[in-house]
Amino acid sequence: MEKKIGIFGAVSTGVGMLIATSCFISSASGASAVGTPFVIAIVIACIANMMAVLSIAELNAIMPNLTGGIAQYTLAGMGPLITIVTMVGGYLISNVFAAPAEGAMFANVMAEIAGDSISPAVFSVGITIILIIVNLMGVNMSTLLQEIVASFMVLSLIVLSVVGAVGIGSGVQVEQAAVISSDLADVLPLTATAFWFFIGAEFIVPLAKDMKNPRKNVPLSMVLSLLIMGIIQIIMVFGFKNYTMWSDLGAAASPHVLYAVAMMGKWGRYWMIIVAIFAAVSTQNSIICSVSEICCGMAKMELLPAFFQKKNSKGAPYYVILILGLLTILIEASGISTGEQVSFLTLTCSLFWMLSYITSHMNVIILRRKMEKVPRSFKTPFYPVFQIVGIILQVYMMFNISNDPVQRLHIYELCFVLFLGLFIYALFWVKYRLRMPLLKGCGVLQVMVQENPLYHEIKKHNADVEC
Amino acid sequence: MATEFSRVEIMSGMDKVANFTEKLGHADCVKQLMKRGVSGVTIYNNVVGCGIQHGLSEVEYELSPENLAIQLLPKSVVTFICESAKVDELIEYLKLELYTGHIGDGKIFVSDVRNVIRVRTGEEGRDALKASVID
């Protein structure tokens, strides 16, 4: 079959995956705290995540065409206990926080139109229910539709940032100091805030089997996607400086609407409504699809109970969709709407994601030692510099997850409870159900064999015969 | 004593070799091989054999490695002769081309070649592997 996705297609998909309207909360929060020096934090976060995707690209080179992604790399490198704790946390729980964050952004925009008569939660819960039903019916957004939505989002972000930074919007520019604080002690902790712009580039990896020259294009497209996103966000900070007062920006529940209206008047508002609808549908739908796939993959590897891969007559993994949907609705119904509340969700999600990136770096180090001679079509340059620096940067961001000590404490408390729960589940599951060594890597071959559906059929058959 | 030439033989499943053979139809792959001192290739198809897994599939081997019955599978052998100085570089290239991480990626055997003679012209050694100067 002819491979169709070239570097351009891969990069546009990558940038599309990185973009979400909740990014505006992060950029507004960071920019309103220190002004234009926030770009330093953006650059550092971008570099940290480039290091992470390079490690993921190397792991993909050792174990190509796996569906479970980082979960399978971790199983091979660090064993089932850490895989369950970091992957269920890193991808499943973090997405449980990411989905309502996007729903809240959508709800805020809609609530501004509807006025106070309807609670914002009605919009976010409503859209989630629609997406749950659509996914349960087995209807997937076509690739073309996803590309159109992603292109619209990318284009919107580029136009918004460039028009604002150059100062050619129809609105009135504001007079304010570009720099609120240039003290590195204020700027550097904001790398954790900027981290949110750059998560998700690794979802390019599953496209590898349909890409032209994947050995070169997988790492290149991930790095280029991050670079493009970084440049757009840097330009956006200068746009904010020209059209919105820093204080208003920090306090806004929908900073993108504030900025667009200040720059383009009522047309900016209409534009943002379309962006909000597209973004909410596209992001929440992508989350439901990708999390379902990861859950099925992990259940296939027996890291999660088997019911996670049960599918209905339409081929939809209904348990995962319902669990994820209900958790999302639960958080949305709690009434999150302010920028601070959305920021809490995105930062909590970021913390889990940072942990999964640390795991990826460690997997590379472990597999370089364990399987030194395995051919790798892509090797991270300057090994182990990127891995060590990458881990240090991610740990630094985890320790500075929020500038607000109260919010930081709440994030840590929530993460501690969730990780403790996951650890206890993983401990019992691995010890008594899987009966595997807790911390010993499974080996690449075993992980790759488990991809084959025949493996599970034969294993089940053998078990039945033994019984 | 190290010889000037080496023989590099790939023994692998016929499907895998067929994939590799298909790549030989592309100029880029041929260029890569020529850069590594390869001027020709010989492929033996329709041979049968097995390795340490006794011909079991990856899944069967993983689940019941104690099964000793031998099952011979269709295999191919690809032979290159190249300069010994470039053999490591060639092997690195071939390893990357053949790697999938699954059982059945095959093996590469490297052995010394004492001499090469082009029968038509009588040229020997390095001359026999290059375009003939006599023509």
- Residue pLDDT, tens place only, A228-281: 999 999 999 999 999 999 999 988 888 888 999 999 888 888 888 888 888 788
Lowest mean pLDDT of A14-23, A208-217, A232-241, A386-395, name the range.
A14-23
Of A310, A433, A357, give the one whose Cα is nearest residue A59: A357
Residue whose tokens read 């520019």:
A173
Q: Which of B59, B96, B100 sits opposite A452 (nearest CB)?
A: B59
3-state class (DSSP) for residue A342: helix
Contacts by A245-252, CB closer than 8 A, 24 or more apart: A245/A174, A245/A176, A246/A31, A246/A32, A246/A35, A246/A176, A246/A180, A247/A32, A249/A28, A249/A31, A249/A32, A250/A28, A250/A29, A250/A32, A250/A33, A250/A339, A251/A32, A251/A339, A252/A28, A252/A339
Residue B3, min C-alpha distance to chain A (Å): 25
| The pLDDT value given to residue A140 | 65
A292-348 pLDDT, tens digit per residue, is 877 877 787 788 888 888 888 888 888 888 988 898 898 888 877 677 788 888 899
DSSP one-letter string for A128-191: HHHHHHHHHTT----HHHHHHHHHHHHHHHHHHHHHHHHT-SSSPPP---SBS---HHHHGGGH
Over residues B111-129, the mean pLDDT reads 91
Domain residue spans of chain B: 5-129
Check if B96 contacts A (Cβ < 8 Å): yes
Residue type, A182: S
> Mutation test of the interface with chain B: which of A372, A455, A464, A465, choosing the one with the most B Cβ atoms within 10 A?
A455
User: What's the first-to-final CA gap in chain A, in angstroms?
Assistant: 44
Which residues of chain A does B103 touch, with a Cβ-Cβ cutoff of 8 Å? 445
Compute the distance between CA of residue B31 and CA of residue A247 in angstroms, rounded to an integer: 61
Q: Which pair of structure tokens corresponds to residue B69? A: 């019955």
Distance (Å, whole) CA A66 – CA B131: 45
- The DSSP call for residue B132 is P
Is residue B52 packed enough to be buried (19+ CB in 10 Å), middle (13-18) or exposed (0-12)? exposed
The percentage of residues in chain A with a pLDDT greater than 90, rounded to a whole number, is 37
How close A385 gets to chain B, by Cα (Å)? 24
Q: B76 has which bridge partners? A: B12
Q: Tokens 């650890």, residue?
A: A423
For domain B5-129, which CATH number applies: 3.10.450.50, 3.30.70.120, 3.50.50.60, 3.40.50.720?
Answer: 3.30.70.120
3-state class (DSSP) for residue B5: strand
Contact call for residues B78 and B20 (beta carbons, < 8 A): yes
B115, B65 Cβ separation under 8 angstroms: no
Report how far residue A256's alpha carbon sits from residue A20's, in angstroms, rounded to the nearest whole number: 11
A43 versus B37: the higher-pLDDT residue is A43
Q: How far apart (Å, rounded) are the C-alpha atoms in residues A110 and B116?
A: 79
pLDDT reading at A376 higher than 70: yes
A375/B103 CB distance under 8 A? no
* CB-based contact B90:B53 (threshold 8 Å): no
ipTM over 0.85: no
CB A69 within 8 A of CB A205: yes
Tokens linked to A451: 């991809």
A447 touches chain B (CB under 8 A): no
Residue A2 has pLDDT above 60, yes or no: no
B22 inside 8 A of chain A by CB = no
β-partners of residue B80 are B8
Give the whole-angstrom CA distance, residue A97 versus residue B53: 46
- Best mutation target among B62, B98, B105 (most A Cβ atoms within 10 Å) is B62
What span, in angstroms and rounded, lies between the C-alpha atoms of B44 and A32? 69
Determine the CATH number of domain A12-466: 1.20.1740.10
Domain ranges, ordered by start, for chain A: 12-466
Closest-CA distance of chain B to residue A411, Å: 40
Specify which of A116-120, A148-152, A349-353, A385-389 reaches the highest per-range mean pLDDT.
A385-389
Q: Which of B19, B59, B97, B107 to probe the A interface (max A CBs under 10 A)?
A: B59
- B5-13 sheet: strands from edge to edge: B42-49, B73-83, B5-13, B107-113
